[in-house]
Chains A and B, each alone.
Chain A
Amino acid sequence: MSQEFSPKIVAFACNWCAYSAADLAGVSRFQYPPNMRIIRVMCSGRINPNFILKAFQKGADGVLVSG
């Protein structure tokens, strides 16, 4: 039996909204799966498409850009 698929997700989160929302999720003790790694950026406008491609190239199963 193969293991259940657990995707690797890289998230780019805007410091001013999505990143603080992720903090608030913590403060509120919301639970979500532990397979996401958040990278803080100062604005979602900062996300160069290269970042996303790099993530996929390195094996990410999903990329979340949130801002």
Chain B
Amino acid sequence: MELANRKATYKPYAQAIPGAFAIEKLDKAPCRMACPANLNVQGYVQMVKAGKYREAIEIIMRDLPLPGILGRVCPHPCEKSCRRLEVDEAISIRELKRVAADQTDLSEIPVPDVEPKGDKVAIVGSGPAGLSAAYFLALQGYKVSVYESMPEAGGMMRYGIPEHRLPRSVIDREIENLKRYGIEIHTGTAIGKDITLEELRDHGAKAIFLGSGAWKGLKLRIQGEEAEGVYDVTSFLRNVHLGILKKLQGRAVIIGGGHSALDGARVALRLGADEVHIIYRRSLSEMLAEPEEIEEAQNERVKIHFLVAPLKISGENGKVTGIECIRTRLTDPDTTGRRKPVPVEGSEFFIEAEHIIPAIGQEPDLDFLGKDLNLGVSKWNLLTVNPETLQTSVPWIFAGGDAVTGPATVIEAVDAGKKAARYIGKFLQGETLPTEWQEEPPIGTNWVEIRDDEPTLHRMKAPTLPVEKRLFGFDEVNLLADEDTARAEAARCLNCGGCCECYECVKACKAHAVTLETHQQEEQLLTIPVGSVILAPGFAPFDPSRFDTYQYAAFPNVVTSMEFERILSATGPFQGHLSRPSDHQAPAKIAFFQCVGSRDINQCDHAYCSSVCCMYAIKEAVIAKEHAGADLDTAIFFMDMRTHGKDFDRYYNRAKDEAGVRFLRSRIHTIDENPETHDLIFRYADEKGDLKTETFDMIVLSVGLETPEFLVKMADRLNIELDADHFVKTGNFRPVATSRDGIYVCGAFQEPKDIPYSVMESSAAACEAKGDLMAARGTLVQEKTYPKERDVSSEEPRIGVFVCNCGTNIGGIVNVPKVAEYARTLPGVTYVEDNLFTCSQDTQDKIREVIEREGLNRVVVAACTPRTHEPLFQETLRDAGLNKYLFEMANIRNQCSWVHSKEKEEATEKSMDLVRMAVARAQLIQPLPQPTISVDNKALVIGGGIAGMTAALGLADQGYRAYLVEQSKELGGNALKLIDTWQGEDITEHVGQMVKRVTEHALIDVYTESSIKSSDGFVGNFETTISKNGSDISLKHGAVVVAVGAEELRPTEYLYGQDGRVLTHLELDAAIKAESPKVSGAKTAVFIQCVGSREPDRPYCSKVCCTHTVKSALQLKRINPDTDVYVLYRDIRTYGQREALYREARRQGVIFVRYSLEQKPVLEKGTDAVSVTVRDHILGRDILINADLVVLASAIVSRDNGALSQMFKLSLNQDGFFMEAHAKLRPVEFATEGIFLAGMAHYPKPIEESIAQAKAAASRASVVLSKEYITVEGAVSHVNEVLCRGCGKCVDVCPFSAVSLVEREGGKTVAFVQAALCKGCGSCAVACPTGAASIFHYDDQEVLRMVEAALN
């Protein structure tokens, strides 16, 4: 569905990176391809739409020098190919060309500056072919002379086409214009008579183009043709236009069906003929003249006799008295599709007339050429030329137009002239010309789609002169359409080709980023040698338009979740106003349908769960309510609520309990629409099974994730294996490794997943690649050197201000010269200039030069935002020998010109204020040192489970030593107790291999039975003391990975610990491993889900239990197929492709019974069995199950992480798990630099995710370890120890643990800032009661000075 329109030049979205524009090009529009001269029709039509007539003419004149003439007489084959015909009627293209031409003063069109080539070219004939050849040769720089035998230039345009169709003023204007291009026109100069071709050559013409046309009228070859009063139409019209024939008395009969027949007839009428007849031997539909023209002629009383052929011209005394005719009929089409006229016997009749004007064709009169040159002539008396180059049999003579083709259209002649000019140019440059016709690229069909709801709009009707006013003279019949009509007509254009190639963007782009070359860019094939490949191509949202159940394609108010996301976005189609597509009104009720394109094998073949939809639907529902207010009713219709991520269940609970989002467990099968209001109606069954009908204003389809077809093909090309669901096949122990060595995958191409997990995987893939590329690390790095920094401490501020125009981004709104002038008046400012683009490379060179020349010691740039451009300018300062902190920016674009585009004066004033504020601060800023601290490139990994071992291996494989500390006797952690992964890989075996690799790795030192005693230091320089068997070991390291894991809850309910038949998951795995009779002998087994999870005091999902349960249920069925297995659950959360296990369990007869938190199952201990009572929601009754095995899916709980969190200053969440720095952006890092997080210490998770996260942690840690030293930012806080009282308030507020209390000599306690950890936020400076803590580069004075300057 389309929510909004965008142009062909567009930025994908406001926050897009890079923040650059793209141009969408499709195949060339069909109108352009249909034009013989290849005119960029779409381009000039778009210009007309915008009222930019001059620009339209500039586009036309790239291919055609005679816009006003063709705007009147072109038979417009373009219109026949117009795709608007599929909707209603073709665009009136010719009319629009004429409007543009008539609205434009051609003398305003700049003549391009071309380098003269020196060579002369002579053109014979000043018709469209000759003039076009002359124009395009002149554009190449040739000196062109045109020779015309007639008294005036224009050829058939002047002497053939009558004035009522083409006013002479138009011809005069356009021919006159050509003289500006340096074209000389010699009229009244007949070749062969006044001068010969050889003489032209002797006078310096290096090449000659013959565009002499076809002026000799064909004879009827019937009896009586010699009588007076019979003349061919060409001679007739020529005589009229020469002024020889001014009047016609009597009756005239014109014979023929082409343009010239009609021209002859209409001219005869205007000369005063009493009656004018046209006889044509075929019917109306075969007539070559256009229907409008035929209609106009008939309006003017021209009598057209169809299916009539001439037999004989009668005469008396040598004068015509009439013509004898016979009626014809058309045969059935022959093999060429033409219907032949045959006479109808006995149908002869007679038309009395004094004038008979045959208009049946013309041929060239080539007598003027003489015989000497021996030019090739065909049997039809046409010049023969090479069809591609238009070169004649004499190499320096080219020919085109009617002389070559016989009578044809003006536009075809123009194209011939253009083509000849191209090859004459090549010929004169000594290039080899092709000998054969060059195949043109095929016409594409990849055009803009025509919308189903494209409204029907009628073609414009150009006004015409009233018939009664026409016949007294030769006034133009077709009048100029008014601008509104023309622009509305242009707006009907469908823009088939995407970008219309008007190249207005090229003119507009002052940075020269968009050029004509940019427009010609084509796909390139590059070969890049690499050592590793990472695939992160993502997914496609499922397209529900092929899914008629939800009527997405038919009902406007059914949208996908992706579209709804855009609707909610401030940069979206409705600027963040919640409104529905049908009427743009705010909806009052929105329903969300889950699992559209997921968990469905009937409709979409996607059996898997897309993992993310439940969470995003809740988020969208909550945000919609935030936008619209609490009255908005949102209801989510779902099967299982899968909010298994960290803190997701809390969000779900809040959505339900606080935001009031309704959750309904029901899958909807049919939607109806009220056709008037477009409201949506459907039925569903509620919790009790009662059927309800509700009406909603809008339905959001929570579409799943799928791999698009092109990625399937890419995988095939890369030779990597995909699974049946088209996701990349990976193992649980190498979750980002594809089937091909060296190629890694991350994100949803591996399996549908959310952002945190995708980001984790991306770092994991980087870790794998870094391991592969270890030997090449750093080999492509080039070190940059800077000049020595100038000491400016004793200098008065000498501030240079550079004000940027940013093309027109700033300069178009803000009066930049005024701002620059104002800056000159500010204290301390010694140099000011304004630039078109201050960020361009040449300006950087200039700034550097100016700093040196003018001795500047502070630089202020008034331009865009420091967030993107400060580093660039600071680099320039460093290159000029200035400390980078001596720089300040005034944001006059993003925060001024762009947001006040309609208030130019105010924006200028604001810019002046912003510059004043920046200059005020610049006076105070000081150079700051950026000390470096060396980095110890070893890492400490805490925890020897799967995550810890993986992290240690990830680091060691990259060449960094890892200290692996494990509190228990052996490595392996929880994994030692598990049987297999959900994909069936043997965990014991894999963990065994992992332990072996760890213990044997030369760069891993393992400390078992060890604990962390204390730790000190900061990123790059930690010192940690571990305690092993009572003795302390001190380890120095640069980074830490915390991977201490989590543990299984020991339940306190469901008879756990009171009855030996009640086991936890881990105990069940142990029992299965031990082949216990408890398992093999069980007749009835019951699994109870969410034991300890998703409870009020532990409101999170333990993520792994549902998968573990269905896997174990299948294991029980394998061990003993007769075992009855029940699973009592709240929501089954077999997310992603784990859904397959759930489906298989149901297939094998595992019975799933849902219970609610309010009515949990009740267990009673019996002698033979444990009786389990559970309330079945569907039956509405209690079920009693006598089980001899009860498995509790008990929660995963955090370890006691308090001590560790204190020691390393790490935060824990409410559930005791460690808190990452940012859930999405920094999922494996802590806010404290240099410390990383992996595995279940973060949150419960399965093996594959722990491994991915551990690799990610290793990857992120290696970023620190790979550096020889860390550069400490200068803009950090510092403490004046004289003023400090050691109160520690700064320590409390520091979010980065950068401040600590230290004891100085004499026992004084003071705060100390570890600059390497400080982020310069300044919280300490605010908290400090004595003013001891302050912050460099943003101290109180600087800020206060800005406040004062702002209000000055």
Query: A64: CB under 8 A from chain B?
Result: no
Is the pair A41, B1351 in contact by a Cβ cutoff of 8 Å?
no
Query: B1340: CB under 8 A from chain A?
Result: yes
**Residues of chain A with a CB closer than 8 A to B1335's CB:** 42, 46
From B895, B1293, B1320, B1325, residue with most partner A Cβ within 10 Å: B895
Q: Which residue of B lies closest to A41 (CB)?
A: B1338
Given contacts A20-B867, A22-B894, A37-B917, contact A45 B1322 (CB under 8 A): yes
Q: Which residue of B lies closest to A19 (CB)?
A: B867
Q: Which of B28-36, B922-930, B1114-1122, B1342-1350 contacts A (4 or more CB under 8 A)?
A: B1342-1350
**Residues of chain B with a CB closer than 8 A to A60's CB:** 1350-1351
**Residues of chain A with a CB closer than 8 A to B917's CB:** 37, 39
CB A25 to nearest CB in B, in angstroms, measures: 6
Selected contact of A26 from candidates B898, B1326, B1344, CB within 8 Å: B898
Q: Which residue of B lies closest to A29 (CB)?
A: B898
**Residues of chain B with a CB closer than 8 A to A27's CB:** 14-15, 19, 894, 898
**Residues of chain B with a CB closer than 8 A to A28's CB:** 14, 570-571
**Residues of chain A with a CB closer than 8 A to B1350's CB:** 10, 37, 39, 55, 58, 60
Query: A31: CB under 8 A from chain B?
Result: yes
Q: Which residue of B lies closest to A40 (CB)?
A: B866
Is the pair B1338, A46 in contact by a Cβ cutoff of 8 Å?
yes
Is the pair B1320, A42 in contact by a Cβ cutoff of 8 Å?
yes
Is the pair A30, B899 in contact by a Cβ cutoff of 8 Å?
yes
CB within 8 Å of A: which of B382-400? Answer: none
Query: B903: CB under 8 A from chain A?
Result: yes
**Residues of chain B with a CB closer than 8 A to A24's CB:** 14-15, 571
Is the pair A45, B1326 in contact by a Cβ cutoff of 8 Å?
yes
CB within 8 Å of A: which of B1303-1352? Answer: 1319-1323, 1325-1326, 1335, 1338, 1340, 1343-1344, 1346-1348, 1350-1351
Cα distance, A51 to B1345, chains bound together (Å): 10
Q: Which of B739-747, B907-915, B1160-1168 contacts A (4 or more CB under 8 A)?
A: B907-915
Is the pair B1347, A51 in contact by a Cβ cutoff of 8 Å?
yes
Number of residues of chain B lying within 8 A (CB) of chain A: 48
**Residues of chain A with a CB closer than 8 A to B1295's CB:** 45
Cα distance, A40 to B1231, chains bound together (Å): 23
Cα distance, A47 to B1321, chains bound together (Å): 10
Cα distance, A58 to B1352, chains bound together (Å): 8
Cα distance, A20 to B903, chains bound together (Å): 22
Q: Which residue of A lies closest to B1275 (CB)?
A: A42
Query: B900: CB under 8 A from chain A?
Result: yes
Given contacts A34-B903, A39-B1347, contact A26 B1323 (CB under 8 A): no
CB A37 to nearest CB in B, in angstroms, measures: 4
Q: Which residue of A lies closest to B1319 (CB)?
A: A42
From A20, A42, A58, residue with most partner B Cβ within 10 Å: A42
Query: B275: CB under 8 A from chain A?
Result: no
**Residues of chain A with a CB closer than 8 A to B1320's CB:** 42
Is the pair A46, B1321 in contact by a Cβ cutoff of 8 Å?
yes
Query: B469: CB under 8 A from chain A?
Result: no
Query: B865: CB under 8 A from chain A?
Result: yes
Is the pair B1351, A43 in contact by a Cβ cutoff of 8 Å?
no
Is the pair A51, B1323 in contact by a Cβ cutoff of 8 Å?
no
CB A12 to nearest CB in B, in angstroms, measures: 8
Is the pair B895, A26 in contact by a Cβ cutoff of 8 Å?
yes
Is the pair B891, A54 in contact by a Cβ cutoff of 8 Å?
no
Given contacts A46-B1322, A55-B1351, contact A34 B1343 (CB under 8 A): no
**Residues of chain B with a CB closer than 8 A to A35's CB:** 906
Selected contact of A32 from candidates B866, B894, B899, CB within 8 Å: B899
Q: Which residue of B lies closest to A47 (CB)?
A: B1326
Given contacts A15-B867, A55-B1351, A59-B1351, contact A43 B898 (CB under 8 A): no
Is the pair A31, B901 in contact by a Cβ cutoff of 8 Å?
yes
Q: Mark B445-461, 1 if CB is under 8 A from A, else 0.
A: 00000000000000000
Cα distance, A29 to B914, chains bound together (Å): 19
Cα distance, A27 to B1293, chains bound together (Å): 34
CB within 8 Å of A: which of B1273-1295? Answer: 1275, 1293, 1295
Is the pair A46, B1325 in contact by a Cβ cutoff of 8 Å?
yes
Selected contact of A42 from candidates B902, B906, B1338, CB within 8 Å: B1338
**Residues of chain B with a CB closer than 8 A to A50's CB:** 1340, 1344
Is the pair A22, B895 in contact by a Cβ cutoff of 8 Å?
yes
Is the pair B894, A29 in contact by a Cβ cutoff of 8 Å?
no
Is the pair B1326, A48 in contact by a Cβ cutoff of 8 Å?
yes
Query: B893: CB under 8 A from chain A?
Result: yes
**Residues of chain A with a CB closer than 8 A to B1326's CB:** 45-48
Q: Which residue of A lies closest to B900 (CB)?
A: A34
Q: Mark B18-49, 1 if CB is under 8 A from A, else 0.
A: 01000000000000000000000000000000
Q: Which residue of B lies closest to A21 (CB)?
A: B570
Cα distance, A41 to B1320, chains bound together (Å): 10
**Residues of chain B with a CB closer than 8 A to A23's CB:** 865, 867-868, 891, 894-895
Q: Which residue of A lies closest to B897 (CB)?
A: A26
Q: Which residue of A lies closest to B1348 (CB)?
A: A58
**Residues of chain B with a CB closer than 8 A to A19's CB:** 865, 867
Is the pair B1343, A51 in contact by a Cβ cutoff of 8 Å?
yes
Cα distance, A27 to B868, chains bound together (Å): 12
**Residues of chain A with a CB closer than 8 A to B910's CB:** 34, 37
Cα distance, A28 to B867, chains bound together (Å): 16
CB B1191 to nearest CB in A, in angstroms, measures: 47
Cα distance, A67 to B19, chains bound together (Å): 24
Q: Which residue of B lies closest to A6 (CB)?
A: B906
Is the pair B893, A26 in contact by a Cβ cutoff of 8 Å?
yes
Is the pair B1347, A43 in contact by a Cβ cutoff of 8 Å?
no
**Residues of chain B with a CB closer than 8 A to A58's CB:** 1347-1348, 1350-1351
**Residues of chain B with a CB closer than 8 A to A25's CB:** 894-895, 899
Cα distance, A47 to B570, chains bound together (Å): 28
Is the pair B1344, A46 in contact by a Cβ cutoff of 8 Å?
no
Is the pair A37, B913 in contact by a Cβ cutoff of 8 Å?
yes
Cα distance, A2 to B1323, chains bound together (Å): 43
Cα distance, A60 to B1295, chains bound together (Å): 31
Is the pair B1321, A26 in contact by a Cβ cutoff of 8 Å?
no
CB A42 to nearest CB in B, in angstroms, measures: 5
CB within 8 Å of A: which of B435-474? Answer: none
CB A28 to nearest CB in B, in angstroms, measures: 5
Q: Mark B546-577, 1 if CB is under 8 A from A, else 0.
A: 00000000000000000000000011000100
From A10, A26, A30, A43, residue with most partner B Cβ within 10 Å: A26
**Residues of chain A with a CB closer than 8 A to B14's CB:** 24, 27-28
Q: Mark A2-21, 1 if CB is under 8 A from B, else 0.
A: 00000010100001000110
Cα distance, A28 to B1340, chains bound together (Å): 33
Cα distance, A25 to B907, chains bound together (Å): 15
Is the pair B1322, A41 in contact by a Cβ cutoff of 8 Å?
yes
**Residues of chain B with a CB closer than 8 A to A20's CB:** 865, 867
CB A22 to nearest CB in B, in angstroms, measures: 5
CB B900 to nearest CB in A, in angstroms, measures: 4
CB B317 to nearest CB in A, in angstroms, measures: 84
CB within 8 Å of A: which of B864-885? Answer: 865-868
From B903, B906, B1338, residue with most partner A Cβ within 10 Å: B1338
Cα distance, A46 to B902, chains bound together (Å): 34
Cα distance, A10 to B1345, chains bound together (Å): 13
Cα distance, A8 to B1349, chains bound together (Å): 13
Cα distance, A34 to B896, chains bound together (Å): 8
**Residues of chain A with a CB closer than 8 A to B900's CB:** 31-32, 34
Chain A interface residues (CB < 8 Å from chain B): 8, 10, 15, 19-20, 22-32, 34-35, 37-43, 45-48, 50-51, 54-55, 58-60
| 30 A-B residue pairs with CB within 8 Å | A10-B1350, A19-B867, A20-B865, A23-B891, A23-B895, A24-B571, A26-B895, A26-B899, A27-B894, A28-B14, A29-B899, A31-B900, A31-B901, A34-B899, A34-B903, A34-B907, A34-B909, A37-B1350, A40-B891, A41-B1322, A42-B1320, A42-B1322, A43-B1321, A46-B1321, A46-B1343, A48-B1325, A54-B1344, A55-B1351, A58-B1348, A58-B1350
Shortest 4 CB-CB distances between A and B: which pairs? A26-B894, A46-B1322, A43-B1321, A45-B1323
